[in-house]
Amino acid sequence: MSRLCRLTLTFLFVFFPFIAHAQWYKHSFKVMGTMSHVEFWLDQQSKTDNDIINAGVAQNEQAQALIKAVELEMVRIDQQMSPYKEQSELSLVNRSADKKPVLISGELFELLSTAQHISALSDGAFDITYASIGYQYNYREKTRPSQSSIVQTLPAINYTAISLDKKRSTVYFNHQGMKIDLGGIAKGYAVKRCLTLLEEAGIKHALVSAGGDTGLLGNRKGRPWLVGIKHPRAEHKMAVHIPLENEAISTSGDYERYFIEDGVRYHHIINPKTGDSARKVVSVSVIGKDPTYVDALSTTVFVKGLTPGLKLINALPDFEAIIIDNQRRLHYSQGLQQ
CA-to-CA separations, 12 to 26, 129, 192, 222, in angstroms, rounded: 21, 57, 36, 25
| Interacting residue with ligand ADP among 71, 73, 127, 290 (CB under 6 A) | 127
Cα torsion 328, 311, 294, 122: sign? negative
Which CB, 20 or 128, lies closer to ligand ADP?
128
285 is an interface residue for ligand ADP by CB under 6 A = no
The answer to whether 111 and 88 have CB atoms below 8 angstroms apart is: no
Beta-strand ranges (E) seen in 10-61 are 22-31, 34-43
Report the nearest approach of ligand ADP to the CB of residue 183 (Å).
2
Binding to Mg ion by CB under 5 A, coded x per residue (else -) over 167-186, reads: -----------------x--
How many CB atoms are closer than 10 A to CB 226? 11
What secondary structure does DSSP assign to 47-70, as a single string? S-GGGHHHHHHHHHHHHHHHHHHH
293 is an interface residue for ligand ADP by CB under 6 A = no
| Interacting residue with ligand ADP among 41, 93, 145, 184 (CB under 6 A) | 184
| Interacting residue with ligand ADP among 36, 214, 252, 333 (CB under 6 A) | 252
The interface partner of residue 275, options being Mg ion, ligand ADP, none and the CB cut-off 5 to 8 Å by kind, is none
276 is an interface residue for ligand ADP by CB under 6 A = no
CA distance 337 to 73: 37
Report the nearest approach of ligand ADP to the CB of residue 300 (Å).
7
The answer to whether 319 and 286 have CB atoms below 8 angstroms apart is: yes
The end-to-end CA distance of the chain, in Å, is: 57
How many residues interact with Mg ion (rule CB under 5 A)?
Answer: 5
256 is an interface residue for ligand ADP by CB under 6 A = yes
CA distance 26 to 49: 26
- Whole-angstrom Cα Rg for the chain: 22
Report the nearest approach of Mg ion to the CB of residue 296 (Å).
6
Binding to Mg ion by CB under 5 A, coded x per residue (else -) over 94-123, reads: ------------------------------
Residues lying near ligand ADP in the complex (CB under 6 A) are found at 126-128, 130, 134, 181, 183-184, 187, 211-212, 250, 252, 256, 268-270, 272, 295, 298-299, 302-303
Q: Kindly list the residues in this chain that would bind Mg ion in the complex (CB under 5 A).
A: 184, 252, 295, 298-299
